């Protein structure tokens, strides 16, 4: 199996964990240039988040608050609130493309992050074309984006990978002016339909922590499994119920 053309391993330490305020954080990171589809699938299945050429997984020695989750798209049944989200978006147009960067997408990305900086206290970040391309885009055969339009206005972009047994939800951002549409949740409903049409079972949601409000939406997508073992030989996914 060709893993990549070039790969660097490193560990990132932070004195301020985004999931557990006041706690330190340790992330195992991989910079992977030229990952093929098989290797990307392996990394996702073993608990790595994927942003551009960067993959990361929490390896905090004294804390297990963050877990990786996936849900079964073939058995998923939307709740009443998710059915309402689907109704609200009947007129929302969805266009699937390869991952790209345009001035329109950059403006939407910065609008979203400005909003989250004010609402949730996220770090203030301004994305230019170079940073967006490096941090978000893969330019690989397995990476796509769903573009959401209200009329002619781009209101949401959802970045995802096709892996060997499902879809990997990388990142989604939307215009806060249209937050009433529930576009983040709607993007996952669209992924469910894509997975079913292509005979794929799992939607990988990345990290979940009960201490992070930004991740609370993941509880609406069931039945789900949590990654209990990140052993190199086999990823140990087990059914889980969150209360």
Contacts of 62 (CB under 8 A, 6+ apart): none
Single out the residue of 189, 113, 99, 91 nearest to residue 146, CA to CA: 99
Token pair in block for residue 43: 């990394």
Sign, CA torsion 35/41/46/48: positive
Residue 58's pLDDT is what? 86
Mean pLDDT of 96-110: 96
Q: Cα separation of 229 and 163, whole Å?
A: 19
Q: Cα separation of 52 and 176, whole Å?
A: 24
Higher pLDDT, 18 or 92: 92
Mean pLDDT of 51-75: 89
Higher pLDDT, 53 or 63: 53
Q: Per-residue confidence at 86, pLDDT binned at 50, 70, 90?
A: very high
Output the pTM of the full model. 0.90
């Amino acid at each position: 199996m060709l893993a990549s053309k070039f790969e660097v391993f490193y560990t990132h330490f932070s004195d301020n964990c985004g999931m557990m305020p006041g706690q330190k954080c340790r992330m195992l990171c991989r910079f992977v240039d030229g990952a093929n589809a098989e290797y990307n699938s392996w990394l996702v299945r073993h608990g790595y988040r994927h942003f551009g050429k960067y993959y990361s997984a929490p390896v905090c020695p004294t804390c297990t608050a963050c877990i990786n989750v996936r849900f079964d798209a073939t058995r998923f049944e939307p709740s009443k609130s998710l059915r309402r989200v689907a109704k609200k978006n009947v007129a929302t147009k969805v266009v699937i493309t390869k991952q790209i960067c345009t001035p329109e997408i950059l403006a939407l990305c910065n609008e979203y992050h400005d909003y989250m900086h004010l609402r949730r206290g996220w770090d203030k970040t301004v994305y230019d074309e170079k940073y967006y391309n490096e941090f978000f885009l893969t330019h690989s055969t397995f990476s796509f984006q769903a573009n959401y339009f209200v009329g002619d206005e781009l209101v949401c972009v959802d970045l995802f990978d096709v892996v060997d047994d499902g879809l990997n939800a990388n990142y989604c951002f939307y215009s806060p002016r249209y937050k009433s549409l529930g576009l983040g949740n709607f993007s996952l409903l669209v992924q469910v339909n894509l997975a079913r049409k292509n005979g794929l079972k799992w939607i990988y949601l990345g990290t979940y922590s009960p201490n992070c409000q930004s991740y609370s939406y993941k509880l609406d997508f069931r039945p789900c499994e949590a990654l209990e073992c990140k052993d190199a030989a086999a990823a140990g996914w087990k059914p889980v119920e969150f209360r």
